[in-house]
A and B are shown apart, each in its own frame.
Chain A
């Protein structure tokens, strides 16, 4: 089955850019997602990208997809303290449910 991996932790200074990375194994993925989880809350859908796209930008968020390397990244520009959260990537392969990564905890220092 699909395997989705993320690094556990990322620390950045307020105002810097954050880049959260995700790798997956199944090259037949269709949609790839980023979710945000704030402390004690559910997961909030941030953005998604279709597998025939290389990049998607939405305000401070930029998603990059490298299908050859099976690598997905989420860049947050001008990172704020309110961006501190756990970020999950999730991958959909046709005929299956979403597979979630283990989450990356982003800490933003003032």
Chain B
């Protein structure tokens, strides 16, 4: 089955620790995205990548980092510099950067 997977579904970390969220797709999509969603809020773009080995900051990139070493994978690291990291994180992919986006199931990160 083709699709986007995110792991883990729930993640708990202590304050001050870096944590990496996984996003994998087997849709052969070039573009991938990370969004943050807070309770009752819409989506805010953290980072996006239009092609392997290239990525750009979105609207709220501070305190986050990404890599795109493989077409299938776009991991997001939430660093200790992120002031309020507790949120629901959504990964998406599309054929190209302007095309229909398909979403993964999300990872809920709670920082204790």
Residues of A within 8 A of B42 (CB): 88, 100-103
Interface size on A, as a range, is: 20 to 34
By the criterion CB–CB under 8 Å, are A42 and B106 in contact? yes
A residues with a Cβ closer than 8 A to B are: 31, 33, 35, 40-45, 48, 88, 90, 92, 94-98, 100-103, 105
Main secondary structure of the interface of A (DSSP, over half): strand
| B43 at the A interface (CB under 8 A) | yes
A101 to B106, CA, bound (A): 19
- B22-64 with Cβ < 8 A to chain A: 33, 40-43, 45, 48
Assuming the contacts A41-B105, A42-B105, A43-B90, asked whether A97 and B100 have C-beta atoms less than 8 A apart, the reply is no
Chain B residues with Cβ under 8 A from A96's Cβ?
Answer: 98
CB contacts (< 8 Å) of B103 on chain A: these are 35, 42-44
Q: Which of B33, B88, B100 has the most CB of A within 10 A?
A: B100
